[in-house]
């Protein structure tokens, strides 16, 4: 019933607005097929996994005028409708303001890793920002966003947001230097909230990052480096596959233990022709709770993207996701992503 209401409401909006705006619809169907060998403490299992990726999507870019435009995009999440993007943009001449759900400035993309629903080394070395509600100023290559804050922390086992108080949004910014064959971005983010009832404690999060790429003919080389404290409140973080690996501060009802992080990634792409290419990447991330035991993850892969027609591609890939500490898993995988854009 919920899906039907959403579809009917969407169609109603389309018909009522069609006379006033240009609608350009699009979609992308993506299926992953992978063999995975998962090893934990010397014991391993091998499975075949085939699934409709939850970043398969349908959406539309909407232009109302030269000053006002927007976009919506729905994805799939275990068969449920999932809003990926929903925002409007006002171009006021000197720049633009975006209002809605979108990625934040804390992004240095480049990895094309397709495993784990086009993970792109997100949480494993690439600086990536989840889509959230925000108000974002865009002027040239400068971005400044005030975003929905995360107030999660770890209680020693689980990530929770109990007894928290927040007074400011997350503040994130990025500036890119763009040349003929290169671009370099510098980014920074900060958020803060308090936790506890009788004697509240502050949890402050910050992250600093730099990343970019350079192109030589058919070769693209790229990298990023970032670090900070309690970065899981600002960027994707996953150093062990569980709640304790999300890069959050730890709070036990008395003391806040800050979580320091450092991460980096490198990648390279070579395009042979319009049909064939090769791409490889490596990512690493480490977190540490104030000089306590560290936690690390690394992921590396190589892929051979094949373009069969405009919008039709197959991406074979082989790689590893290694949660490096004792008792944690290492996953070796081989398979492909199948994609048709329409």
Residue 5 lies in a domain: no
Residue 4's pLDDT is 37
Residue 83's pLDDT is 97
Residue 10 lies in a domain: no
- Structural domain that includes position 192: 23-341
Residue 234 lies in a domain: yes
Residue 6's pLDDT is 52
Residue 72 lies in a domain: yes
Distance (Å, whole) CA 22 – CA 190: 37
Which parts of the chain have pLDDT scores under 70? Answer: 1-20
> How far is C-alpha 151 from the geometric centre of its chain's CA atoms?
18
- Residues 16-52 have pLDDT tens digits of 555 568 999 999 999 999 999 999 999 999 999 999 9
- Residues 274-297 have pLDDT tens digits of 999 999 999 999 999 987 879 999
Distance (Å, whole) CA 148 – CA 168: 9
Q: How many domains does the chain have?
A: 1
- DSSP assignments along 133-160, one per residue: EEEEEEETTEEEEEEPPP--EE-SSSEE
Residue 2 lies in a domain: no
Residue 301 lies in a domain: yes
Q: What is the CATH number of the domain that holds 236?
A: 2.40.160.10
Residue 256 lies in a domain: yes
Distance (Å, whole) CA 223 – CA 211: 6
Residue 12 lies in a domain: no
Residue 8's pLDDT is 38
Q: Are 39 and 326 in contact (CB under 8 A)?
A: no
Residue 5's pLDDT is 44
Looking at 179-276, which runs of residues are DSSP E strands? Answer: 182-195, 201-216, 219-229, 250-251, 256-257, 259-271
Distance (Å, whole) CA 86 – CA 171: 20
Q: Return all residues near 147 (Cβ < 8 A) that are at least 6 apart.
A: 104, 132, 133, 134, 169, 170, 171, 172
Q: 317 pairs with which residues across the strands?
A: 303, 335
Residue 80's pLDDT is 86
Residue 233's pLDDT is 99
Residue 182's pLDDT is 98
For the entire predicted model, the pTM comes to: 0.92
Residue 79's pLDDT is 77
- 10 phi and psi, to 5 degrees? -65, -45
Distance (Å, whole) CA 210 – CA 101: 24
Provide the sign of the torsion angle of the four alpha carbons 27, 103, 99, 69, taken in this order: negative
SS3 61: strand
């Amino acid at each position: 019933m919920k899906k039907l209401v959403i579809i009917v409401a969407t169609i109603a909006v389309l018909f009522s607005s069609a006379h006033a705006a240009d609608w350009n619809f699009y979609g992308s169907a993506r299926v992953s097929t992978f063999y995975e060998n998962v090893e934990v403490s010397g014991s391993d299992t091998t499975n075949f996994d085939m699934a409709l990726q939850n970043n398969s999507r349908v959406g539309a870019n909407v232009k109302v005028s030269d000053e006002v435009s927007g976009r919506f995009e729905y994805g799939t999440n275990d068969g449920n409708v999932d809003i990926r993007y929903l925002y409007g943009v006002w171009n006021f001449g000197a720049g633009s303001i975006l209002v809605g759900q979108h990625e934040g400035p804390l992004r240095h993309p480049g990895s094309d890793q397709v495993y784990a629903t086009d993970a792109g080394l997100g949480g494993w070395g690439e600086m990536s920002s989840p889509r959230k509600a925000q108000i974002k100023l865009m002027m040239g290559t400068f971005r400044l966003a005030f975003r929905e804050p995360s107030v999660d922390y770890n209680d020693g086992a689980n990530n929770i947001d109990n007894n928290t108080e927040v007074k400011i949004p997350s503040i994130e910014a990025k500036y890119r230097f763009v040349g003929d064959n290169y671009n370099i971005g510098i980014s920074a983010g900060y958020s803060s909230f308090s936790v506890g009832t009788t004697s509240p404690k502050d949890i402050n999060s910050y992250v600093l990052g730099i990343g970019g790429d350079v192109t030589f003919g058919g070769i693209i080389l790229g990298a990023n480096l970032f670090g900070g404290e309690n970065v899981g409140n600002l960027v994707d973080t996953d150093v062990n596959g569980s709640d304790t690996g999300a890069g959050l501060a730890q709070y036990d009802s008395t003391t806040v233990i800050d979580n320091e992080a450092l991460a980096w990634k490198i990648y390279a792409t070579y395009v042979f022709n319009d049909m064939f290419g090769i791409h490889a990447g490596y990512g690493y991330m480490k977190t540490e709770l104030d000089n306590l035991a560290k936690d690390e993850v690394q992921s590396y892969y190589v892929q051979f993207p094949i373009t069969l027609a405009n919008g039709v591609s197959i991406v074979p890939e082989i790689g590893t996701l290694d949660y490096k500490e004792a008792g944690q898993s290492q996953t070796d995988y081989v398979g492909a992503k199948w994609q048709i854009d329409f």
